Amino acid sequence: MASPKVVVRVEVLAAASPKAVWRQLSEELVLSDAAHDAIWPARNGPIQRRTAEPGSPPLAEITIDSERRQIRRMSRPVGWAEEIQSEVLISVRPGKQGGSRILLRARGWDRMVESVLGPATDDLLGWAVDQVLAPLSRVATADAIGDWLTDRVARRPQGTRARRIYRSPKAHQPGFQAILKALALTPNDRLLEIGCGGGALLHAALATGCTAIGVDHSPEMIRLSHQQNLKAVGEGRLALVPGQAEALPLPALWVSAVAMATVFFFFPDPLAVLQECRRVLRPGGRLAVFTIPPELRGTPAAPEPMASRGHLYTDQELSDLALAAGFADVTVSRAANGGQLLSARRH
């Protein structure tokens, strides 16, 4: 077999021990692939697309060697150059001066390129630039890192730290308390929470005896909310549904109360979201939205880079949006931490 002309190598240094890095790396790789529709096997074996038809060829074969802290991912083209195998090897090694080194090596893809284009160096380098070097240079910019941090921490939470935060988000408690006080839920209510996160507000709301539905666009937060509210799910008092706020996966006139806690400023079309809230609310249904005003930009309530990637509304702007969506009895008040509470009712 001919030696590869180009091998891609990436090294990342981490302060944590190899054991700790290996544990988190393995978990993050599974979650990252799952976010892109790729499901790992329970043990070594094929990685499949979640949406693949039965009998479809796998995306790749994976081998995990926990003792050596090494993951090998191998793939072949389907129906083209099937005799050629590409390999990605990820390993965790002790750092030369403590901590850990994460090493990634990719090889074999140049032979796939050659199978179609021939052994032209410019084409091989073109693949490396388009698929490896240029993406790495783009993701290293301040804007790209800001977008990633915003998604990871707030807009689409994921990862070990996000799960730890959203199990019991202490910073969100003033908002939760303001929402629950405004809605005054009873056992006769059916609550919808949009952007339910880790399910902490749902847990408090369910203590009133109501039933509830949680909607979130982060699969990881749906799973965490399920774990945090297993009893209510088992009793049939809570349903958790993936979905978008602008197109709620619910029929009209379905709920008696709607809550949103510190998610409203991320919606690109806030009027459409409020119109969806009104659609699913029954006559007399209540709306409670907790968000952050512009004067708190740059504080722990609205830190950068998250604040620059959302919209912080004045009290008047919030009120005008709710009125434009068709709500009545609209008020905007302030919670103990300075956050805004938009309250309204559907006639």
Task: Determine which helix (DSSP H) or strand (DSSP E) holds 64, and give its type and residue range.
Answer: strand 60-65
Top pLDDT among 56 and 92 is at 92
- The CA R_g of the chain, rounded to the nearest whole Å, is 24
Contact 276, 247 (CB under 8 A): yes
CA distance 59 to 74: 9
Confidence of residue 247 (pLDDT cuts 50, 70, 90): very high
What pLDDT does 3 receive? 60
* Helix-helix angle 160-167:18-35, to 10 degrees: 80
pLDDT over threshold 50, residue 1: no
pLDDT over threshold 90, residue 8: no
Q: pLDDT tens-digit profile of 254-297?
A: 999 999 999 999 999 999 999 999 999 999 999 999 999 999 99
Distances 141 to 102, 136, 146, 296, 309 between C-alpha atoms, Å: 21, 9, 9, 26, 16
Domain 8-140 = CATH 3.30.530.20: yes
Q: pLDDT tens-digit profile of 190-233?
A: 999 999 999 999 999 999 999 999 999 988 899 999 999 999 99
Give just the sign of the alpha carbon dihedral 22, 27, 30, 36.
negative
* Dihedral (Cα; 40, 45, 51, 57), 10-degree rounding: 150
| Residues constituting the chain | 347
Q: Which long-range contacts (CB under 8 A, 24 or more apart) does 80-83 make?
A: 80/115, 80/116, 81/111, 81/112, 81/115, 81/116
pLDDT over threshold 50, residue 321: yes
Q: Of 304, 306, 233, 292, whose CA–CA distance to 264 is shortest?
A: 292
Average pLDDT over residues 60-71: 96
Put residue 43 in one of left, alpha, beta given phi > 0 → left and psi -120 to 50 → alpha. Answer: beta
Average pLDDT over residues 123-143: 88
pLDDT over threshold 90, residue 50: no
Average pLDDT over residues 21-28: 92
What pLDDT does 46 receive? 94
pLDDT over threshold 80, residue 31: yes
Confidence of residue 311 (pLDDT cuts 50, 70, 90): very high
pLDDT over threshold 60, residue 136: yes
Token duo for residue 228:
């945090």
CA distance 34 to 23: 17
- Are 8-140 and 164-345 in the same CATH fold? no
Side by side, the strands of the sheet bearing 340-345 are 238-242, 211-216, 190-194, 255-261, 281-291, 340-345, 328-334
Whose structure tokens read 């590409």? 86
Average pLDDT over residues 50-71: 92
Average of per-residue pLDDT values in the chain: 92
Q: pLDDT tens-digit profile of 282-293?
A: 999 999 999 999
Confidence of residue 2 (pLDDT cuts 50, 70, 90): low
Top pLDDT among 3 and 310 is at 310
**Domain segments of the chain as ranges:** 8-140, 164-345
What pLDDT does 123 receive? 82
Other C-beta atoms closer than 10 Å to the C-beta of 69 total 21
Q: Which CATH number fits domain 164-345: 3.40.50.150, 3.40.50.1980, 3.30.70.260, 3.40.50.720?
A: 3.40.50.150
The H helix count followed by the E strand count for the chain is 12, 14
Confidence of residue 87 (pLDDT cuts 50, 70, 90): very high
Specify the pairing of strand 281-291 against strand 211-216: unpaired
Whose structure tokens read 């988190």? 24
CA distance 347 to 342: 16
CA distance 322 to 342: 8
pLDDT over threshold 90, residue 333: yes
